[in-house]
Chains A and B, each alone.
Chain A
């Protein structure tokens, strides 16, 4: 055996553990869950895709992005344009170009196209945004969210404006949801062990040293931005097929916040953190949804007022940031070697990490 086992052999356990865990959840809910519960699980899988996509950019680059939900919006509308039957499109979306008006693709074709569309868009805007310094780039992504929302809620003839577009084939079930989540995790894993992912993490941890070693920060950030946009574009397309309607309000501040807080709660800098954050927050949301609906106590229904859910998630996020800034997983990855969650590191690295925290 060589001195250094390959990166894949050292780290392949993480994505496998995650994907198998999700498979177990999918199987359990398919077998035992009610219809409503299955829908919740599908929604969770889609959120996993979004948050894993966010992790590809935020986790590897250390830059915060508030704009990634706009890629979800792009993906969702693209798949709506491609899959709604032409008869319906010609009534509601008159402004579409003729070739788009007359095509109808199956979901399996439309979804990757939507992802590629989002990635292309990210490539164009990313070239500008990635040139900015860290904080300015984050603010600019927030501007991107505003622009996309502005355009999609006002371009009535193509996007249906503020209202919803209906008629997207509802083709999602837990298995397609699981496949989506698994694809997202696989792409994110492959990216993070790639040369570019390694280089980007180097710029995150020590920008000056990284650029002195010949890493082009702007280029590596752009690659991650495009990859993450692709994943989130896919997620948006699946989300459209899940709800079978799209409207621009679904891709704005609330979703941005919920997905970011999922990432933060789990641990921003690790793939396992991204996935476990989604699971944790989804459970919380479901819990509060039930509480808001009310529990019957001796004939009376006692419920929390609507909106407690969001306030609680906001407060939990702040508290986690204060006391556990590295999230539930402490930014570590799941692996077999030492449960719980401790990756085996050489001694000096462990000591250094201890001093750091």
Chain B
């Protein structure tokens, strides 16, 4: 029972991380048909924004020293700003390009950001301590759950609730859903394209910052490649959730998180390092059965 509870919390917190990542990618894909390969580097950028540029082994903590009520909004703003900036400078010019071109452009942008970070911070992972009290376990029905896991799950649920309310109850949310469903038609009915796209990029950037914060608190290190892993799984989540479906992406994020934790707990010891390969294997099985994804939206069908 105790172990089961532990597994459930592990699965939920890992799934939360993947769901937040998938959400950030699905939002932009919805309004612009852009698969944002730079998302992982947005995450890394937000983590490194807490440090002062230096190539020494010891990290010079800069913004990371701020109290949390200043640090969190600052980091969210950083993520949103980077995301919006990349839209204005790069992606705006690819509005009518084909998906392959947009993908390479975003891949190139991610590459530039990654190597900018490498140049400023060197490739060595740096230790960064944020809120060590969150690492302490709390007792819950006899199981010891790290506080951070509980916080992660609560934050994710809060983000999801706020986002659902935003999408369903506000004018901007309605516009965004309309744009995700049929962009051209939405524009004809008076939805401002630039506004909706900028909003989607801002939210996506904030989600990247949130993931960065959680990852940094959890691992205690800042590493250039830390965003890429989450991004890869988030991509897979958007595919098996059904490209273009926002609830599908979130659900699939949680599913993959759960699958990873279950594999981690049940695989024999030697095979554990290949956990990710097993997860992708499961994904392939899902895709064999449903190539269009688990929750394919109606709008994804190709119209002739």
Point out residues on A near B: beta carbons under 8 Å: 58, 62-64, 66, 125, 128, 131-136, 138-140, 142-143, 146-147, 150-151, 154-155, 208, 253, 257, 260-261, 264, 268, 305-308, 310-311, 313-315, 317-318, 321-322, 325
- Point out the residue from A125, A150, A308 that lies within 8 Å of B119, measured CB to CB: A308
* Residue pair A261, B104 in contact (C-beta under 8 Å): yes
Does B236 belong to the interface (CB within 8 Å)?
yes
* Residue pair A314, B111 in contact (C-beta under 8 Å): yes
* Residue pair B119, A314 in contact (C-beta under 8 Å): no
Point out residues on B near A: beta carbons under 8 Å: 33, 35, 37, 90, 93-94, 97-101, 103-105, 107-109, 111-112, 115-116, 118-119, 228, 232, 235-236, 238-239, 243, 273-274, 276-277, 280, 283-284, 287-288, 291-293, 300, 302, 304
* Residue pair A136, B243 in contact (C-beta under 8 Å): yes
Task: List 21 interface pairs A-B (beta carbons < 8 Å), by A numbering.
Answer: A58-B100, A62-B98, A64-B100, A131-B287, A131-B288, A132-B291, A135-B35, A136-B291, A138-B100, A139-B239, A140-B287, A143-B280, A146-B280, A155-B274, A260-B104, A261-B104, A305-B119, A308-B119, A310-B112, A321-B101, A322-B93
* Residue pair B283, A143 in contact (C-beta under 8 Å): yes
Give B98 Cβ to nearest chain A Cβ, in Å. Answer: 8
Other contacts beyond A147-B277, A307-B118, A314-B108: 18, CB < 8 A: A66-B107, A125-B284, A132-B239, A136-B243, A136-B291, A139-B239, A257-B107, A257-B108, A261-B104, A261-B108, A305-B119, A308-B119, A310-B111, A314-B115, A318-B108, A318-B109, A321-B108, A322-B93
* Residue pair A311, B35 in contact (C-beta under 8 Å): no
Give B276 Cβ to nearest chain A Cβ, in Å. Answer: 5
- Point out the residue from B104, B235, B273, B274 that lies within 8 Å of A321, measured CB to CB: B104
Residues of B within 8 A of A261 (CB): 104, 108
Give A233 Cβ to nearest chain B Cβ, in Å. Answer: 20
* Residue pair B90, A147 in contact (C-beta under 8 Å): no
Residues of A within 8 A of B103 (CB): 64, 135, 138
Give A280 Cβ to nearest chain B Cβ, in Å. Answer: 15
Residues of A within 8 A of B109 (CB): 314, 318
Residues of B within 8 A of A257 (CB): 107-108, 111
Complex: A63 Cα to B293 Cα, angstroms: 19
- Point out the residue from B35, B104, B243 that lies within 8 Å of A264, measured CB to CB: B104
Residues of A within 8 A of B93 (CB): 322
* Residue pair B287, A154 in contact (C-beta under 8 Å): no
Which of B103, B239, B300 counts the most chain A CB atoms within 10 A? B239
* Residue pair A139, B235 in contact (C-beta under 8 Å): yes
The answer to whether residues A139 and B238 also contact, given A128-B288, A311-B116, A322-B93 and a CB cut-off of 8 A, is: yes
Complex: A306 Cα to B117 Cα, angstroms: 12
Complex: A313 Cα to B110 Cα, angstroms: 12
* Residue pair A325, B111 in contact (C-beta under 8 Å): no
- Point out the residue from B108, B232, B273, B283 that lies within 8 Å of A154, measured CB to CB: B273
Complex: A142 Cα to B231 Cα, angstroms: 11
Give B233 Cβ to nearest chain A Cβ, in Å. Answer: 9
Complex: A251 Cα to B304 Cα, angstroms: 39
Residues of A within 8 A of B99 (CB): 64, 134-135, 138
Complex: A135 Cα to B37 Cα, angstroms: 12
* Interface of chain A, main secondary structure: helix
Residue of A nearest to B29 (CB): A135
Residue of A nearest to B228 (CB): A253
- Point out the residue from A138, A146, A154, A310 that lies within 8 Å of B35, measured CB to CB: A138
Residues of B within 8 A of A310 (CB): 111-112, 115, 118
* Residue pair A136, B239 in contact (C-beta under 8 Å): yes
Give A356 Cβ to nearest chain B Cβ, in Å. Answer: 13
Residues of B within 8 A of A125 (CB): 284
Residues of A within 8 A of B35 (CB): 135, 138-139
Residues of A within 8 A of B277 (CB): 147, 150-151
Complex: A315 Cα to B104 Cα, angstroms: 12
The answer to whether residues A317 and B104 also contact, given A140-B287, A147-B276, A305-B119 and a CB cut-off of 8 A, is: yes
Residues of B within 8 A of A151 (CB): 274, 277
* Residue pair A136, B293 in contact (C-beta under 8 Å): yes
Complex: A158 Cα to B105 Cα, angstroms: 36
Give A306 Cβ to nearest chain B Cβ, in Å. Answer: 7
Residues of A within 8 A of B94 (CB): 321-322
Closest CB pairs A-B (n = 8): A314-B112, A307-B119, A154-B273, A310-B115, A64-B100, A317-B108, A314-B111, A131-B291
Residues of A within 8 A of B104 (CB): 64, 260-261, 264, 317, 321
* Residue pair B239, A311 in contact (C-beta under 8 Å): no
Complex: A253 Cα to B302 Cα, angstroms: 31
* Residue pair B232, A143 in contact (C-beta under 8 Å): yes
- Point out the residue from B90, B100, B108, B235 that lies within 8 Å of A143, measured CB to CB: B235
* Residue pair B107, A260 in contact (C-beta under 8 Å): yes
* Residue pair A208, B115 in contact (C-beta under 8 Å): no
Complex: A318 Cα to B283 Cα, angstroms: 32
Give A95 Cβ to nearest chain B Cβ, in Å. Answer: 11
Residue of A nearest to B90 (CB): A318
- Point out the residue from B115, B276, B288 that lies within 8 Å of A150, measured CB to CB: B276
* Residue pair B115, A63 in contact (C-beta under 8 Å): no
Give B38 Cβ to nearest chain A Cβ, in Å. Answer: 10
* Residue pair A132, B105 in contact (C-beta under 8 Å): no
Give A17 Cβ to nearest chain B Cβ, in Å. Answer: 27
Give A307 Cβ to nearest chain B Cβ, in Å. Answer: 4
Residues of A within 8 A of B287 (CB): 128, 131-132, 140
Residues of B within 8 A of A264 (CB): 104
Complex: A17 Cα to B15 Cα, angstroms: 54
Residues of A within 8 A of B302 (CB): 133, 208
* Residue pair A311, B280 in contact (C-beta under 8 Å): no
Which of B33, B97, B100, B236 counts the most chain A CB atoms within 10 A? B100
